Structure 1
Amino acid sequence: MSAKYEKNYFSSDFTLGILGGGQLGKMLLYETRKFDIRTKVLDASDEAPCKIACDQFVLGSLMDYDTVIDFGQDVDVLTIEIENVNLDALEQLEENGKTVYPPTRALRTIQNKAKQKLFYVDNGIPTAPFSRFAYKSEINDSIANGALEFPFIWKAAQFGYDGQGVKVVRKLEDLEALPTGECIAEKMIDFKNELAVIVCRNPNGEVRTYPVVEMEFHPEANQVEYVICPARIDDKVARKAQEIALKVSEKIGHIGLLAVELFQTQDDEILVNEVAPRPHNSGHYSIEASYTNQFEQHIRAILNLPLGNTQSKVAGIMVNLVGAENHTGEVLYEHMEEILALDGVTPHIYGKKQTRPFRKMGHVTIVNQDLAKAREIAQQVKETIKVISKQDG
């Protein structure tokens, strides 16, 4: 083994810090426990899914400068499982000599959707046409003078997550209930498919891409319902999607994982929608379907270890488990036994005790040698399992 890989992370006093204690962090911890890597996690909820699996849990706000500074003092490498963190604190930790991956400069571009879109334009990366507004009220002026036409996609510049902060605007009244701050208005794209490519990169410059996946979204919640790997698209389109994702990765300079969400237009052009610099919903299928799952790959990348094989062993489909409409309260998973009786089905329950409509509570992976069969079973899973509340059940 060359000198560049000699650092001993395993069964040692090395500590990996993770900002965010949600389900992505919990799934990262499956891999750190496999490797016996010591972990410390910061989250604002005392019921965070990560709490049961990390070596040290710290309760506190990811957006509070002093809290993040204090948290980062005694870790060796710091990473994130959510973008909404205090970047000034991370930048200060970097200046103090701490290793932070992804680097703060990449996070500054990604955290603000307006900056992210301008980054694509500046770097010749294809993306949907858009307008940037400092305040929502400016949109009305833009509509009045003919510079903006219905329908369009409104996106909050910051703090959107899991379908929040995104709205299709078809008429003036649709704007009324939206937040007033910085936002973008994006042209609606007539697309065939929504695709995603996960790119992984380590500090040595090794880069791997996962196969292109296809995403099917819930029309109301704007959340992914199904992720299908491999995407049911032409090989030329798949190559174009991977090439564009690699260009985004190179220009943005991330370390770790970068999930690049894409539109395939009716004439097979590829447009970048947005990116996430962390493990991502579009890669959950990889836990059962890939040689190296996305969470292990993120750990390998941020610790500058050799990257693993990103190819699939088998076709994989992921179904999101979200809280049923009209159900709020202590969670109950109905018909779990029925889905466990199906071939190739593995549920992942995130450990959130309270459900509410469309809250991500878990996911189910379906693997099969035959993609069409996997999709058929996925539909069966979706129609069978119910995430409800005990008092409403």
Structure 2
Amino acid sequence: MHFFSSDFKLGILGGGQLGKMMLYETRKWDIATKVMDASQEAPCAIACNEFVLGKLLDYDAVMDFGKDVDVLTIEIENVNVDALEALEEQGKTIYPQPKVLRTIQNKATQKLFYRDNNIPTSEFTRYAYTSEIKESVQNGGLELPFVWKSAQFGYDGQGVKIVRELSDLEGLPNVECIAEEMVNFKNELAVIVARNSKGETKTYPVVEMEFHPEANQVEYVICPARIPEEVAQKAQAVAKKVSEGFGQVGLLAVELFQTQDDAILVNEVAPRPHNSGHYSIEGSFTNQFEQHIRCILGLPLGKTESKVAGVMVNLVGAEGHTGEVVYENIEEVLAMDGVTPHIYGKKMTRPFRKMGHVTIVDADMAKARQVAQEVKEKIKVISK
């Protein structure tokens, strides 16, 4: 099949920042794109060849969208899988495959997949409703503290809460959920695995993630992770085992815990480009978005090694600011060597909303991390 400067059309479900950065690559290669999102203000709207307004969880909207594309992919997991399965039965090529999405969409079935495939993960208990947890604790079936996670539709720190006492359950939605054992970890790590439709597989270097204590969002991504080589190799091996188990086509971002005794446990996965791979735009020989396109089109995979050390800083809306966005002090950040801001195109900010990121690259990792701290302290995402 001819992809470049042809009648080929790639469909993307989701028009957010991940889709926008994917479109950088399709435009580079002159691949025609069609994108659907529920918001007319979606970052992808101005960059794709064709934009469709529609809800990603609406069966009919997804069916209609998929009818005239040649390959269909996603930039967010929360899409109507029933429609994707129906389109696949009609002969449409969909990556990641709907069966993979169905398992990953639900955190309970995702955790069961790890257990069934002998993939190391934290202990957990599955509940049909949050209201069942209190009785389980009172009867000794579950010990405090634990991590509560909604089985579906959690995203960017939403749908997750540490429960240290029963009162912490108050106000949580009464939905299907899991209670995970809290892991005493040294580091939170991630590995992106790329697999194309011909079965070729490559892994990116292990990255280290530092989280915001309140928002449960990644603040910094550091590549390479500051861990011993044997731990890095173990993390990559576990990530590859997860990818092999799913057999997904596309990218699979595998989030991991490094425990105090250097065991590696799988936390969660995302079957798409991921925040932990943004550093690759400036830092890698092949960035994650180009690699995803290579995967789903069956093209040879690109080199995953880094050119230089990289640190990514997330730009999120400042607390106490809602409204039209202003990037305070961005000119000062632009004057710093090795610093590249990425603005996602969201016109309205609110507390902790992801509005962009900044990549810092340097031959010296310590220097890159120091500059990242300076960037974090300097730039502010506020409202007018």
Q: Does 1:238 align with 2:193?
A: no
**Where do residues 99-118 of structure 1 align in structure 2 (5 Å cutoff)?**
99-118=93-112
Distance in 1, matches of 2:308 and 2:47, equals 29
Q: Does 1:283 align with 2:285?
A: no
SS in 2 for 1:68: helix
Identity of matched residues, %? 77
Distance in 2, matches of 1:341 and 1:378, equals 14
Match of 1:214 among 208, 215, 228: 208
**Where do residues 304-323 of structure 1 align in structure 2 (5 Å cutoff)?**
304-323=298-317
Match of 1:375 among 354, 366, 369: 369
- Deviations along 1:45-79, one digit per CA (max 9) or x if unpaired, are 01000001000000010000000000000000000
Match of 1:335 among 329, 336, 342: 329
Unmatched runs of 5 consecutive residues or more in structure 1: 1-6
TM-aligned CA deviation for residue 141 of structure 1: 1.0
Q: Determine the structure 2 residue equivalent to 1:351.
A: 345
Distance in 1, matches of 2:34 and 2:250, equals 18
TM-aligned CA deviation for residue 356 of structure 1: 0.3
SS in 1 for 2:156: coil
Distance in 2, matches of 1:150 and 1:218, equals 23
Superposition RMSD in Å = 0.4
**Where do residues 1-393 of structure 1 align in structure 2 (5 Å cutoff)?**
7-390=1-384
Distance in 2, matches of 1:177 and 1:297, equals 41
- Deviations along 1:264-320, one digit per CA (max 9) or x if unpaired, are 000000000000000000000000000000000000000000000000000000000
SS in 1 for 2:266: strand
TM-aligned CA deviation for residue 202 of structure 1: 0.6
Number of residue equivalences: 384
SS in 1 for 2:216: coil
Distance in 2, matches of 1:176 and 1:213, equals 35
- Return the letter of the residue paired with 1:204: K
TM-aligned CA deviation for residue 151 of structure 1: 1.0
- Return the letter of the residue paired with 1:189: V
TM-score, normalised relative to structure 2: 1.00
Distance in 1, matches of 2:332 and 2:145, equals 42
Unmatched runs of 5 consecutive residues or more in structure 2: none
TM-score, normalised relative to structure 1: 0.97
TM-aligned CA deviation for residue 173 of structure 1: 1.2
Distance in 1, matches of 2:319 and 2:149, equals 24
Distance in 1, matches of 2:166 and 2:259, equals 27
Distance in 1, matches of 2:75 and 2:161, equals 24
Distance in 2, matches of 1:355 and 1:236, equals 42
- Return the letter of the residue paired with 2:95: Y
Distance in 2, matches of 1:340 and 1:184, equals 43
Distance in 1, matches of 2:174 and 2:238, equals 33
Distance in 1, matches of 2:232 and 2:132, equals 38
TM-aligned CA deviation for residue 150 of structure 1: 1.2
TM-aligned CA deviation for residue 43 of structure 1: 0.2
TM-aligned CA deviation for residue 124 of structure 1: 0.1
Distance in 1, matches of 2:275 and 2:59, equals 28
- Return the letter of the residue paired with 1:240: K
TM-aligned CA deviation for residue 177 of structure 1: 1.0
